[in-house]
Amino acid sequence: MPARRRLFADIAPLRDSPDFRRLYVGQLVSFLGSQLAIVAVPYQVFRLTRSSFQVGLVSLAQLGPLLVGSLVGGAVADRMDRRRLIMAMQVAQAATSAGLALNALHGLGSLWPIYVATAAAAALSGIDRPARSASVPNVVDRSQLAAAYALWQVLLQVGAVAGPALAGVLLARFGLAPLYWLDALSFGAAFVAVGRMGPLRPGGSGPRGHLPRWWGGASLNQFHRLMLRRRTVHSARLISPCDTLEAPATRSSKRIGTSTTG
């Protein structure tokens, strides 16, 4: 039994906490959906522009909104019901995915809506992910926190591999717009799962309804510590897969052809 525990992840948090199961399943579905868009966006941009530079520029355009969203989102998550915040983010992120789907509905669409929608999605993701991560201690026993966060990392790592693989298959078979619609639906599934949870009260120490001191001019050291605490650098990994898709997009565009234009 001890050897088995060392070999396999401890699933006790999933077994013992219904709310953690709901949070976990919602994150799994929405994360897989997001991976579909992470593959579709650079492919669409390359098909539109035939420029690897534009593919990288779309990724770069998400960086600023992601950083701001991560900083503000962490502060907001400490001062309001995280369940309501997560549900609101699912609705907003589904709207951005629906916008991408409508843009690709009759072909490759236009370039500027992709920039706008992906930048907005990055900012919303920066708000959503800290709220989800900070909610884990609310729904599992303190003795199971390590196991819960280990399961969370398993979800992210498996999703980061399985999601793009699934996206490639679906993209070749159905085209761009269905992938974006599936992404939007995945946020709906996460909304339902989180909606069945109980309230997730904030744990921030600051006054409710106010942003922390750094917003009004904290020192650089305070700002740097806050960046580390919110794991903003870790969140930026959501952008990096686009960079790795530049070369594959170049190779695959000739093979897939016009069958994936909508």
For range 2-20, the mean pLDDT: 78
pLDDT of residue 160: 93
**pLDDT digit string (tens) for 189-202?**
999 999 999 888 77
- Compute the distance between CA of residue 228 and CA of residue 216 in angstroms, rounded to an integer: 19
Mean pLDDT estimate for the chain: 79
Q: For the chain, give me the number of helices (H) and strands (E)?
A: 12, 0
pLDDT of residue 221: 42
Nearest to 202 by CA among 85, 81, 89: 81
**pLDDT digit string (tens) for 24-60?**
999 999 999 999 999 999 999 999 999 999 999 999 9
For residue 88, give both structure tokens.
Answer: 């609101």
Find the angle CA(86)-CA(88)-CA(94) to the nearest 5 degrees.
Answer: 100
Give the three-state DSSP class for 104: coil
For 18-27, 55-64, 67-76, 209-218, which range has the lowest pLDDT when averaged over its residues?
209-218
**Statement: residue 120 has pLDDT above 80:** yes
C-alpha distance from residue 258 to each of 42, 157, 221, 222, 250 (Å): 16, 32, 52, 51, 14
CB-count burial class (<10 Å; 0-12, 13-18, 19+) for 21: middle
- Compute the distance between CA of residue 234 and CA of residue 251 in angstroms, rounded to an integer: 29
pLDDT of residue 233: 38
For range 6-11, the mean pLDDT: 74
Amino acid letter for position 45: V
- Pick 109 or 216 by higher pLDDT: 109
- Compute the distance between CA of residue 199 and CA of residue 84 in angstroms, rounded to an integer: 8
pLDDT of residue 73: 83
pLDDT of residue 10: 84
**pLDDT digit string (tens) for 136-178?**
998 999 999 999 999 999 999 999 999 999 999 999 999 999 9
Domains and CATH numbers, the chain: 16-249 (1.20.1250.20)
**pLDDT digit string (tens) for 200-259?**
877 543 334 444 443 433 333 443 444 444 444 344 344 444 444 444 444 444 444 444
pTM of the model: 0.73
Q: Which residue has the tokens 């806050």?
A: 226
pLDDT of residue 211: 43
For range 90-118, the mean pLDDT: 94
